[in-house]
Structure 1
Amino acid sequence: MATRWGICSAGKISHDFTVALKTLPPGDHQIVAVAARKLQDAQEFAKKHSIPQAYGSYEELARDPEIEVVYVGTIHPYHLPVGMLFMKAQKNVLCEKPMAMNLREVQELVASAKMNQVFLMEAVWTRFFPASLEIQRLLSRGEVGEVKMVKADFGVPLMHVPRAVEKELGGGALLDIGIYCLQFICMVYNGEKPEFIQATGVCLDTGVDEGMVVTLKFSRNRMAVFTCSVAVELPNDTVIVGTKGTIRVPEHMWCPTSLVVNGKEIQYPLPEPYLPLNFINSTGMRYEAEEVRQCLLKGLKESPRMSQADSLLLAEVMDEARRQVGVVYSQDCQ
């Protein structure tokens, strides 16, 4: 039986997720309904993607008995209230990153998932790309020896995008794109909490971070550093340096389709979309969707590849980095 999806929000990321879902077998994944805050937006989205039902409120989507799991593609500040709405309605949830605005909110979502006995996963799509799975396999085999350093960069000019620069919309480089660098580092170090965090950054007049440089120290003298920016284009690559070699993602580190392992390149092509995409390599969201399906078929309430503990760690480290740089959201004061 197909996994029955509801799409929460009719924005750009939801468009791309829907396109990605439809690269998977229709017998495995079915989109039942879409909801937006305006019925017209939901209806237009439904027509474009041949979705049978459109709702003008998230509450209606939550009440739909046909929906098994909801993809939450709203802007960051809505992740907590919307995620809580669906989980209280006994819906499984795949929530766009960041899972919430801070650690306290992530803890609330995780607690709600456990109380309502539903599946909850942060949509860190990078974790599920074949290239990422290969990195984990290579590291587990000791292909590059002991990892001593991880370096990652992600910078894209987004100063013209309100949700990236306005505090009330959850803007800021770290929450929007720096999280990809951090999650990659945490993946390489198997979810270990860093012993030391040092962050420096530059803030916009809106009070959010334009850019950050974060250094992390782990046990056994292992380190990592990442840079993120919404003002400039960075190399957007990452490298893992071990005692016996290196693994490099040469471009698009947040959605990798190639690796260079000790100088040898490996390609992982993506399927073609049936409609134009808003973001590069977005058909790669198919992998996180399939992960949700496989977890649900196994009766799991979280993914072993992107666990709730992983999401809690990301939030904790980002909270500390923001504290050092001086980025404070209204959600931090509640």
Structure 2
Amino acid sequence: MATRWGICGAGNISHDFCVALKTLSHEDHQIVAVAARSLESAKKFAKTHGIPTAYGSYQELVKDANIDVVYIGVLHTHHLQVGLLFLNAGKNVLCEKPFAMNLREVKHLISAARENNVFLMEAVWSRCFPVYAEVGRLLSENTVGEVKMVKVYFGLPLLDRERATQKEQGGGALMDIGIYCLQFALMVFKEERPESIHATGVLLPSGVDESMVVVLKFSGNRMAICACTIACDLPNDATICGSKGMIRVAHPMHCPTTLEVKGKETEFPLPEPGLPLNFNNSTGLRYEAEEVRRCLLKGLKESIKMSLTDSELLIEIMDEARRQVGVVYEQDSQ
């Protein structure tokens, strides 16, 4: 039986997610409904993607009994409110990253999922890529020896986009793209809580971070350096440095198709999209959809690839980094 998807939000990332779903077997994944804030937007989106049902409100999608799981692709400042709407109605949820605006909100979402006994996962799609699975295997086999340093860089010129620069929209380098850097470091160090967090950054006039560097120190004198910016391009790769060599996850680090181990490259090609995409390598969103289906078929309430505990630690570190740099959102005082 196919996993029946409901799409919440008719924006760019929801478009790409639907394109990615269409690269999977129709017998496994079907998009049965989409909801937007206006019926016109929902109908236009449904026509583009061949979705049979369109709703002009999220509340209508909540009531649709033919949906197995809801993909939430709305602006992350609305993740808490919208996420609770579906979770409290007993719907399984895959919610775009960042899960929410701070640790308090994330804990609220997780609590609702557990109280209602439903599946919940933060859509950090990187965690589901074959390259990341291969990195995990190499580390478990001690291929590069003892890991001493992780370096992750992610930067894009996004200063012309309000979503990335305005505080009211949850903008800032860390929330938008820096999250990918931190999650990679935590994955390598097996979700260990860092002994120390040191962050510095540059703020825009709007009060969000244009650039930020976060240094994490782990037990055994191991470190991670995570740099992100919305002002310019960075190498957009990740390097794991061990006592016996290096592993490099090549550009783009957050949705990779190339892995370099001790100088030898291996390619992991993605399927071609059926429609134009808004973001690089977005057909890779198929991997998180496959992970959700796997979990639902097994009756799991969270994924081991991106567990709810992983999401809590990730946002906790982000909160502390923001505190040190001075990025404060309205949600932090609520």
Pair in the same fold by TM > 0.5 = yes
Match of 1:91 in 2: 91
**For 2:67 and 2:82, how far apart are their aligned partners in 1?**
15
**For 1:71 and 1:146, how far apart are their aligned partners in 2?**
38
The secondary structure found in structure 1 opposite 2:248 is strand
Instruction: Check conservation: 2:76, 2:100, Cα contact below 8 A.
Output: yes
Counterpart of 2:69, as a letter, is: V
Match of 1:52 in 2: 52
The secondary structure found in structure 2 opposite 1:276 is coil
Is residue 197 from structure 1 mapped to residue 197 from structure 2 by the alignment?
yes
CA RMSD, 1 decimal: 0.5
Structure 1, unaligned stretches of length 5 or more?
none
How far the C-alpha of 1:67 sits from its partner, in A, is 0.7
Match of 1:173 in 2: 173
How far the C-alpha of 1:89 sits from its partner, in A, is 1.1
Counterpart of 2:184, as a letter, is: F
The secondary structure found in structure 1 opposite 2:41 is helix
Q: Residues 167-213 of structure 1: CA distance to partner in whole angstroms, max 9, x if unpaired?
A: 01110100000000000001100011111000000011111000101
How far the C-alpha of 1:301 sits from its partner, in A, is 0.1
The secondary structure found in structure 2 opposite 1:205 is coil
**For 2:245 and 2:208, how far apart are their aligned partners in 1?**
38
TM-score relative to the length of structure 1: 0.99
TM-score relative to the length of structure 2: 0.99
**For 1:9 and 1:313, how far apart are their aligned partners in 2?**
27
The equivalences for 1:148-227 within 5 A come to 148-227=148-227
**For 2:27 and 2:258, how far apart are their aligned partners in 1?**
29
Counterpart of 2:139, as a letter, is: L
The secondary structure found in structure 1 opposite 2:175 is helix
Counterpart of 1:180, as a letter, is: Y
How far the C-alpha of 1:250 sits from its partner, in A, is 2.2
Instruction: Check conservation: 2:250, 2:257, Cα contact below 8 A.
Output: no
**For 1:188 and 1:121, how far apart are their aligned partners in 2?**
20
**For 2:250 and 2:166, how far apart are their aligned partners in 1?**
31
Structure 2, unaligned stretches of length 5 or more?
none
The equivalences for 1:253-264 within 5 A come to 253-264=253-264
The secondary structure found in structure 1 opposite 2:206 is coil
Give the total of aligned pairs.
334
The equivalences for 1:1-334 within 5 A come to 1-334=1-334
**For 2:95 and 2:147, how far apart are their aligned partners in 1?**
31
Q: Residues 43-92 of structure 1: CA distance to partner in whole angstroms, max 9, x if unpaired?
A: 00000000000001011011101011000000111100100000111110
Percent identity, please.
Answer: 67
**For 2:39 and 2:164, how far apart are their aligned partners in 1?**
25
How far the C-alpha of 1:317 sits from its partner, in A, is 0.1
